[in-house]
Amino acid sequence: MDTLDGGAVGAATDDRGVSFLRFDNQAQEFFDGWRADLETSLLGGAFEHPAMQAHMSKYRSLMPSLALLFHLMDRANGTVTQDGVSQDAAQRAAAWCTFLETHARRIYGLALSSEFAAARSILEHIRRNDMPPEFTARDVYRKQWAGLRKPSDVAEPLRILEDYGWLHSYTIGGKEEGGRRSICYIPHPSLVVMNESAAQAA
């Protein structure tokens, strides 16, 4: 793209010498409708959290940027010969934005959920050396930390930490008939190193 000749793809040049392409008439009409829907969603509170709101506001420039990229790819492989960015390129860009929005909602939803907040709290306590080298869920809720006061408060956060590689679990007990089985958690070695470094600094 750095060596692309704007003139070769029908680009115009502004007063600063910057090359640019416009949507063709059909693509412009499509973009105007898409942009109006986005603005309605942004102003109407469709995105429940400010972080998601800020993320989606960036789609104002993301969509036309993707459309331009798709158009240049089509020009390069000979699919289209027109100069203006096509409606097909705009529609593909909008479809990609929908796809990316779905993933963004999932990511922001997870990051902002109460379970993730609780997981971050447990992780912070581990970093502060508030937990033994190996511990169970019971060890966590017995501490009676805010939001972590009963078994149901800690089960999902511990699973999240394990899924993300911060904890490793193994089962203890239960070998004899009637014996109770418990899940024990071991923090990632990097957390242990952090704890040791903090202790030495103190």
What tokens were used for 140?
């966590």
* CATH 3.50.50.60 at 115-201, yes or no: no
User: Structure pTM?
Assistant: 0.54
Q: Token pair of 19, please? A: 């090359």
Tokens 């960036």 belong to: 58
The DSSP string of 17-74 is S-EE--B-HHHHHHHHHHHHHHHHHHHTT-S-SHHHHHHHHTHHHHHHHHHHHHHHHH
Tens place of pLDDT per residue across the chain (202 aa): 555 555 555 666 667 776 778 899 999 999 999 999 999 999 987 886 778 889 999 999 999 999 999 998 888 877 766 778 999 999 999 999 999 999 988 887 766 678 888 998 999 999 999 999 999 999 999 999 998 999 999 999 999 899 989 999 999 876 665 567 889 999 998 887 555 555 555 5
Domain boundaries defined on the chain: 6-112, 115-201
The tokens for 163 are 């899924």
Q: Which residue has the tokens 């956060």?
A: 157
